[in-house]
């Protein structure tokens, strides 16, 4: 983990645990109510990101709620679904770990806590969680990025992602790709809250360098596997053009000891939901 910036732990969660998360998310989607004006298409391309999430309070205030974001091209100009809604969701975020009993139990499970202790985390807190669908045929690419671009701390190196495969993640359906060792060079871009009165509510400072595709290695992983992701390692995933989805539950943890969470981050703890301790 320290050398490469990531670590693959196969069979970390049981098949039953994965299935419990999938069936729980089916219930959440079945009950999903999103007013048309709040339906935003999720993108990781900078211009589209600023237009969609950047102009949307629905995104900006999702840190302590369970909210829904959609794939590109699934909504008409009025915000109506062009395909069945359960096939249109890109991700659900950002506080499943706090508000849903199944995801809360997984996030704070004894084996996750034990892993945190093995990594030397003294005061880890959970900052956000997401369920990512990577829908068959339309699951969008995630462009090369570092998580610390969006979750900035002083000093750096205090953010850790837990990425759980709820189905086999393959090169065909959009597994993660990493540049090994790329977590040692700091960050070159940040997404920050825009000044009040700006046309978007977030903006980017700096720019993402052009990465050489040859530097990336794929990390296929079986259902139940866990990938630990250093906050500054460069990673991406391709478009899912296959006929099978690639469901994932992922959450981010911050070592709170001696760490300052940037007030410019889009995501902020709230009085209703301060960042909960990973250790319970």
Retrieve residue 156's tokens.
């750096």
What average pLDDT does range 186-209 have in this prediction?
88
CB atoms within 10 A of CB 244: 16
Query: Which tens digit of pLDDT belongs to each residue from 56-107?
Result: 678 888 999 999 998 888 888 888 899 998 999 999 999 999 999 999 999 9
pLDDT at 54: 45
Q: Is the pLDDT of residue 52 over 70?
A: no
> Would you state the pLDDT for residue 53?
53
Nearest one of 41, 96, 34, 40 to 64, comparing CA atoms: 96
Total residue length of the chain:
280
Looking at the predicted structure, is the pLDDT value of residue 118 above 70? Answer: yes
Confidence label for 18 from pLDDT (cuts 50, 70 and 90)? very high
Closest CA to 131 of 246, 228, 218: 246
What pTM was estimated for this model as a whole? 0.94
| Average pLDDT of the chain to the nearest whole number | 93
Instruction: Name, in order, each residue with C-beta under 8 angstroms of 61's C-beta and a sequence gap of 6 or more.
Output: none
Q: Which two tokens stand for residue 196?
A: 């009040």
The mean per-residue pLDDT over the stretch 210-239 comes to: 97
The DSSP code for 120 is T
**Domain architecture of the chain: domains with CATH:** 6-261 (2.60.120.620)
Q: Does the pLDDT value for residue 258 go beyond 90?
A: yes
Phi, psi dihedral angles at 99 (to 5 degrees): -105, -15
């Amino acid at each position: 983990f320290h050398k490469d910036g990531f670590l693959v732990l196969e069979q970390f969660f049981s098949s039953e645990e994965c299935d419990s998360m999938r069936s729980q998310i089916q219930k959440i989607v079945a009950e999903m109510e999103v007013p048309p004006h709040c339906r935003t298409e999720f993108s990781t391309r900078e211009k589209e990101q600023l237009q969609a999430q950047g102009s949307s309070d629905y995104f900006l205030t999702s840190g302590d709620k369970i909210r829904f974001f959609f794939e590109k091209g699934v909504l008409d100009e009025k915000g109506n679904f062009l395909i069945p809604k359960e096939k249109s969701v890109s991700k659900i975020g950002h506080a499943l770990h706090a508000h849903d009993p199944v995801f809360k139990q997984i996030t704070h499970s004894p084996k996750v806590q034990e892993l945190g202790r093995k990594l030397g985390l003294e005061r880890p807190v959970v900052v956000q969680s997401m369920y990512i669908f990577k829908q068959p045929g339309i699951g969008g690419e995630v462009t090369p990025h570092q998580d610390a671009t969006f979750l900035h701390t002083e000093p750096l190196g205090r953010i850790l992602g837990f990425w759980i495969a709820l189905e086999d993640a393959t090169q065909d359906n959009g597994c993660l790709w990493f540049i090994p060792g790329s977590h040692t060079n700091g960050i070159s871009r940040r997404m920050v809250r825009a000044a009040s009165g700006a046309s978007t509510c977030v903006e980017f400072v700096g720019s993402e360098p052009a990465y050489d595709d040859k530097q990336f290695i794929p990390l296929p992983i079986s259902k139940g596997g866990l990938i630990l992701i250093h906050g500054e390692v460069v990673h991406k995933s391709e478009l899912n053009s296959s006929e099978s989805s690639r469901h994932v539950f992922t959450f981010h943890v911050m070592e709170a000891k001696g760490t300052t969470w940037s007030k410019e981050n889009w995501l902020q703890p709230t009085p209703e939901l301060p960042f909960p301790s990973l250790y319970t």
